[in-house]
Structure 1
């Protein structure tokens, strides 16, 4: 059930089938010279849509902005603070809760450390505040990496590389501009730097030359299956 396409009546009827909602978070962030700035959002939203074809599941409109620190100097990256991110998730969950939702899957296509921690912090605060909800906070990247170990050839592939290029080649091929080039950043260990692009010029972390639409299709299927399993586990979870 894709919420942005539903009417008030559709939503009301949907609550008779499930009280579980999937909330996709993404980013407006560089993904090299070959992938769109919306890559993280696309991946998170597409997986939710596919999961909703398998099980009763509300899929919320995606949140297109995230906290992007490592790529902040790259053209096109539009970042928000962790405080804003936390507030967004908490407000959204509270509103859904007021309409009867009780199970919340927060899946983020952007896997930056500060971004992930902000969502996890918000989730912890919400389960302490709303005692009748269940929550899961996961990254799309972790599910794709774990589910597709046998498919992914590039060790340490993380950003705009083999995995993400394959995913967008499958779901939105019209947005892919070539395949990009292999690159791994060279940030100094432990040192905070202002000019992050100096140490990561092209914004790729992995090897997009090994990407294919067929890999992308398979990875999407594997991640979708993980989301379906997670939804079922969350709905059955008891403390």
Structure 2
């Protein structure tokens, strides 16, 4: 059930079937010279919608903005602060809880460490406030890399590389504009820098040339299956006391 598409009576009926909601978090962020700025959001929202076709779950509208540090100097990246992301997650879950939801999956298509730490922090705060809430925080890209590892040829593939390019080639081929050269960021270890683009000019971590729509279709299916298992586990989770 796509929250933005259903009516009030359909929402009420939906609560009789499930109290689980998926909240996709993404980013507006550079993805090399070939992928759209909304890649992370598209990937997270797509797998949520695909899962909703297989089982009763609510899917909240995607959050397009995230915390983007490594790509902050690249054209097109629009970042928010950790405080903003944390507050947004807390407000959304709190209101969905008030509306009758009890199981919450905060699924991020953006794999930034600071971004995801803020979502985990929000989840911890919510557990303390909402006595009946069950909360999972998962990075959707990690599911793709883990469960699609047998399909991926590029060691250490990450941002705008083989995995993400394959997935967008499958879901939105019209948005893939050619390719980008293979690249690995060259940030100095332990030293913070002001202009991160000087150490990562192309904004790619991996090898887009190894991507294919066929790989993307298989990876997408594996991510949906992994998400389904997580929802099963969350809905049946009983915390030790």
TM-score (norm. length: structure 2):
0.98
Q: CA deviation at 1:52?
A: 0.7
Q: What is the alpha-carbon distance in structure 1 between the residues aligned to residue 104 and residue 154 of structure 2?
A: 32
Instruction: Please state if 1:29 is matched with 2:29.
Output: yes
Shift of 1:179: 2.1
Say which SS state the counterpart of residue 117 (structure 1) adopts. Answer: helix
Q: How does 1:71-220 map to 2 (within 5 A)?
A: 71-220=71-220
Give the equivalent residue in structure 2 for 1:234.
Answer: 234
Residue 181 (structure 1) shift: 1.4
Gap regions ≥5 residues in structure 2: none
Answer yes or no: is the 8 Å Cα contact 1:90–1:126 preserved in 2.
Answer: yes
Residue 225 of structure 2 corresponds to: 225
Following superposition, the deviation at residue 131 of structure 1 comes to: 1.2
Q: Tell me if structure 2 keeps the 8 A contact 1:68–1:80.
A: yes
**Is contact 1:70–1:196 with CA below 8 Å preserved after alignment?**
yes
The CA deviation at 1:180 is 1.6
Q: CA RMSD in A?
A: 0.5
Unaligned runs of 5+ in 1: none
Out of 17-26 and 48-57, give the one that drifted further: 48-57
Asked if structure 2 preserves the Cα contact closer than 8 Å seen for 1:179 and 1:211, the reply is no
Per-residue deviation, residues 53-106 of structure 1 (Å, max 9, x unmatched) = 111100000000000000000000000000000000000000000000000001
Give the distance between the partners of 1:167 and 1:139, measured in 2 at CA. Answer: 16
- Aligned positions, number: 239
CA distance in 2, matches of 1:110, 1:210: 21
Q: d(CA) in 1 for partners of 2:106 and 2:158?
A: 20
Supply the distance in 1 between the matched residues of 2:188 and 2:199 (Cα, whole angstroms). 8
